[in-house]
């Protein structure tokens, strides 16, 4: 019996539509090759939606996302919308999607493909074989805590403030995601906090340790965030799964991803609610939009994560990763990952090469 999945496609702005087009080719190939029926519902988001509806996340887009089995997003934003009111900027659509879909866990793998080891800014021996998963809490912490703002003091100077807050429940659920993911990997979790200074992350450490009682087959360790930032560039292969708060995760996941060389290679998943969202970690790259220079592999690998985490088809993710690896091994490169003696291809040609590998 064939399985039916509905995917909401949100191409967005800049290179978003270009990379999504290649991901759609991959989806088409998978549908032909496997017993699958995929329904793709494309809706505008970000600046593209603002142009039509004067809102970056129109109700129809949100509804299509909520009703889908999974969401695939390209990227949002661009210079054209930098001057409009903050609440209507394209990037606000991301926050709207995350909160409405209740996506409290962001999974960002930082995995290096053997053919790209020399593209890393670190020495070959430090990154060869690197495979880390950073799990960032996405809907709580200092980015959402109240009170927040900037106030005028009696002496005429200003004071800015934000609040770092986590409930026990918020910590428990992200810890469970981390332990569950670790069980399918190398069974090691590093929980990152600043428990020596911040009471709330002292609670984080305590609650993660309590949840660990249910996952004794997984090794749990704790690390302060400043040390973790250092260890990621000193000896990154010591990590398997890193779990941390929203702001620490924002910073550490960018640091970890750059160990692998290119922003155009890295996928992500945001999970927690009924519908998960998958997207490349890069933005809309206005500097190269429309030029056929965008690397579509991060988006194609995001499709792989969708099959693994939303549809439970881990073998499809493995198939996509192998196809990408094979294409890279052939020396095929988009400009961002180009090096000597390799063949430069366009966004579209890279998509075609991956499809050809999938169909071999």
List residues near ligand NAD by CB under 6 A: 15, 19, 75-78, 91, 94, 263-264, 279, 282-288, 294-295, 298, 336
| Beta carbons of 243 and 141 less than 8 angstroms apart | no
Shortest spacing between CB 291 and ligand NAD, in angstroms: 10
| Residue 13 vs 170, nearer CB to ligand NAD | 13
Shortest spacing between CB 263 and ligand NAD, in angstroms: 5
| Beta carbons of 30 and 358 less than 8 angstroms apart | yes
Catalytic residue among 118, 180, 226, 287: 226
Catalytic residue among 53, 131, 254, 352: 254
Shortest spacing between CB 329 and ligand NAD, in angstroms: 20
180 is catalytic: no
Cis upstream peptide for 147 (omega within 30°): yes
| Residue 141 vs 264, nearer CB to ligand NAD | 264
Catalytic residue among 250, 309, 319, 353: 250
DSSP string, 142-179: GGT-SS-EEEE-TTS-EEEE------HHHHHHHHHHHH
| Residue 15 vs 30, nearer CB to ligand NAD | 15
| Residue 73 vs 171, nearer CB to ligand NAD | 73
Residues whose CB is less than 8 angstroms from the CB of residue 226 and which lie 6 or more positions away in sequence, other chains included: 194
| Residue 77 vs 141, nearer CB to ligand NAD | 77
Shortest spacing between CB 286 and ligand NAD, in angstroms: 6
Residues whose CB is less than 8 angstroms from the CB of residue 126 and which lie 6 or more positions away in sequence, other chains included: 120, 235, 236, 237
254 is catalytic: yes
CA dist., res. 93 & res. 61, Å (int): 10
6 phi and psi angles, rounded to 5 deg: -105, 125
Closest CA to 238 of 221, 253, 226, 216: 221
Catalytic residue among 104, 193, 194, 319: 194
Shortest spacing between CB 78 and ligand NAD, in angstroms: 5
Q: Strand pairing of 131-137 and 105-111?
A: antiparallel
Closest CA to 243 of 162, 169, 143, 173: 173
Catalytic residue among 21, 102, 143, 172: 143
250 is catalytic: yes
Active site residues: 143, 194, 226, 250, 254
């Amino acid at each position: 019996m064939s399985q039916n999945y509905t995917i909401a496609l949100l191409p967005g702005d800049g290179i978003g539509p270009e990379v999504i087009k290649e991901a759609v080719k991959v989806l088409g190939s998978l549908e032909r090759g496997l017993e699958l029926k995929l329904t793709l519902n494309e809706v505008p988001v970000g600046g593209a939606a603002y142009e039509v509806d004067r809102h970056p996340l129109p109700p129809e887009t949100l509804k299509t996302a909520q009703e889908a089995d999974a969401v695939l997003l390209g990227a949002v934003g661009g210079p054209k919308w930098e001057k409009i009111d903050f609440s209507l900027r394209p990037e606000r659509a991301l926050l709207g999607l995350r909160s409405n879909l209740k996506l409290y866990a962001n999974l960002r793998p930082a995995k290096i493909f053997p053919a790209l080891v020399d593209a890393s800014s670190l020495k070959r021996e430090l990154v060869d074989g690197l495979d880390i998963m950073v799990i960032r809490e996405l809907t709580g912490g200092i980015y959402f805590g109240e009170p927040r703002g900037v106030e005028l003091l009696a002496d005429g100077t200003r004071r800015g403030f934000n609040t770092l807050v986590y409930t026990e429940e918020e910590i428990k659920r992200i810890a469970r995601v981390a332990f569950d993911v670790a069980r399918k990997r190398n069974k090691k979790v590093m929980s990152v906090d600043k428990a020596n200074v911040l009471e709330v992350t002292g609670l984080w450490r305590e609650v993660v340790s309590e949840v660990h009682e249910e996952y004794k087959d997984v090794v749990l360790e704790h690390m302060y965030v400043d040390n973790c930032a250092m260890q990621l560039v000193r000896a990154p292969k010591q990590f398997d799964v890193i779990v941390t708060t929203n702001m620490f995760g924002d910073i550490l996941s960018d640091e970890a991803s750059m160990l692998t060389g290119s922003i155009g290679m890295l996928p992500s998943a945001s999970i927690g609610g009924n519908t998960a969202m998958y997207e490349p970690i890069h933005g809309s790259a206005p500097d190269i939009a429309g030029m056929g220079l965008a690397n579509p592999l991060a988006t194609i690998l995001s499709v792989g994560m969708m099959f693994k985490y939303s549809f439970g088809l881990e073998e499809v993710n493995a198939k996509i990763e192998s196809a990408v690896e094979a294409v890279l091994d052939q020396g095929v490169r988009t400009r961002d990952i180009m090096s000597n003696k390799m063949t430069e291809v366009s966004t579209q040609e890279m998509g075609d090469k991956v499809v050809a590998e999938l169909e071999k």
